[in-house]
Amino acid sequence: MTRQISLLDLTTLVVEPSAMQGKMLGAELAKAGIVQVSTVRSGGEALAYLRDKPTSLVVSAFHLSDMTGADLIGAMRADEALAAVPFILVSSENRHQQLDPVRQSGSSGILPKPFSQAQLGAALRAVLDFLNVDDSFDEAGFHLDGLRVMVVDDSPMARKFMRQVLSNLGVKHFLEAENGRKAAELLSDNIVDLVVTDYNMPEMDGQALIRFIRTQSWQKDVPVLMVTSENDQSRLAAVEELGVVGMCDKPFEPNAVRALLGRLLGGN
C-alpha cells in the first residue's frame, strides 16, 4: 500500500496581507495538525515562493494587495509546475460572482472568516483526499478500474481536478466534454457507467444534458452526478426531478463522491 500523506507532511503556504491575520491563521492550522507553515503577504510573493520551494498546500485570503485569491489560483493552475497544488480560500467575501472562479479552478475548500475548526477540518480532509490514493474500494472487492466515467465541465481546470479525485479512488477510464452538446455527441458512440457534469455551461447546460440523456439517449439509465456552483434552488430542483444520483457543490468534495460510488456499487 502506498504511504499516505498526513497533515504533518503538508508544507503549507499562507497568503495573507495582514500580519496579525496571518499569525492567527497559522495558529488555527497548527491546532488542526499542520506544523510546516510559511507566510507571505501578496500574490506575487506567493507565486515566487511556490516556484522556488516545494509546497503541498496554499491557504490564501481573497483580497490581496496585488491581485485576488481567484487571480492567484488561476495563475497557479496555468503554471504546469503549480497546477496540482491544493488551494483553500479563506475570505469574508460572499458574492457568488467573485467566488465562482475559485470554485471553477478546482479548489479544495472555501472557508468563511471566521471559520470553525470543523470547517477547516473538512477542507483539510478534502486536501488529503486529493493527494492520497484511496484503496478502500479495491479492498472491499469493488474494482473501479473498469468503470467508464464521463466528466462534463466547461472549465478544463475543474475537469482536471475531478479526474484527479476519481483517479485516486481507482477510476482509470475517462471521457471529457466541455459542454452538454459535446457530451451528447460522445454518448451516441461511447458506453459510460457514470456522468459527472457541471450545471452552467455554454451551448447546452447540465440540465439540458440530463434531459437529453433521460429522453433521447440510448443510455437513458446512466447515473448522473451534478457538481455545480449554481445557487438557484428552483433550477436545482428541476435538475433533481429529471433524475440524478447526487448533487455536489463546488468545490468538488471527494468524500461525497466516495459515498456516491459506494451506493452505486452496493446497489442501494
User: Looking at the structure, do residues 144 and 195 belong to the same domain, yes or no?
Assistant: yes
pLDDT of res. 138 = 81
2 found inside a domain: no
Answer yes or no: are the C-beta atoms of 227 and 197 closer than 8 Å: yes
Q: Are residues 156 and 240 in the same domain?
A: yes
Model pLDDT, residue 96: 81
Pair (241, 187) in one structural domain: yes
Integer angstrom CA distances of residue 268 from 41, 149, 170, 180, 224? 49, 19, 20, 28, 15
**Which CATH number does the domain housing residue 252 bear?**
3.40.50.2300
Do residues 199 and 126 both lie within one domain? no
Nearest to 105 by CA among 130, 84, 77, 127: 77
- What distances in angstroms separate CA 248 from CA 45, 86, 253, 256, 259, one per listed residue? 33, 19, 7, 7, 11
Query: Do 69 and 96 sit in the same domain of this protein?
Result: yes
Q: What is the pTM of this model?
A: 0.85
DSSP code at position 63: B
The pLDDT tens digits of the residues spanning 85-128 come to: 999 999 998 888 888 889 888 899 999 999 999 999 999 998 99
Domain that holds residue 258: 136-266
Q: How far apart are CA 89 and CA 102, in angstroms?
A: 8
Q: For residues 41 and 116, state if they share a domain.
A: yes
- CA dist 253 and 141 (Å) reads 23
Q: Do 43 and 67 form a contact (C-beta atoms < 8 A)?
A: yes
The answer to whether residue 165 sits within a structural domain is yes
Cell of residue 57, nine digits: 498546500
Total domain count, the chain? 2
Question: What digits encode the pLDDT tens for the residues 165-220?
Answer: 899 888 999 999 999 999 999 999 999 999 999 888 999 998 899 999 999 999 99
Residue 268 has pLDDT above 70, yes or no: no
Task: Flag whether 23 is in a domain.
Answer: yes
Q: Which of 4, 258, 220 is nearest to 142 (CA)?
A: 258
Angle at 221 between CA 217 and CA 224, to 5 degrees: 95
| Strand order through the sheet with 173-177 | 173-177, 148-152, 194-197, 224-228, 246-249
Average pLDDT over residues 121-149: 87
pLDDT of 9 reads 95
Residue (of 153, 149, 104, 125) closest to 7 by Cα position: 125
- pLDDT higher than 90, residue 247: no
Q: CB-based burial of residue 66 (10 Å sphere; 0-12 exposed, 13-18 middle, 19+ buried)?
A: middle
Judge if 80 and 164 occupy the same domain.
Answer: no
For residue 74, the tally of other CB atoms under 10 A from its CB is 17
Residues 196, 154: Cα–Cα separation, whole Å: 12
Question: Does any domain span residue 1?
Answer: no
Domain identity same for 170 and 127: no
Shared-domain flag, residues 127 and 145: no
| Confidence check: pLDDT of 1 > 60 | no
Would you say residue 15 has pLDDT above 60?
yes
Shared domain for 147 and 117, answered yes or no, is no
pLDDT at 133: 87
| pLDDT value for 33 | 96
pLDDT in tens, 43-66: 999 999 999 999 999 999 999 999
Domain boundary among 82, 108, 131: 131
Domain termination site, one of 131, 159, 184 = 131
197 or 253, which is more confident: 197
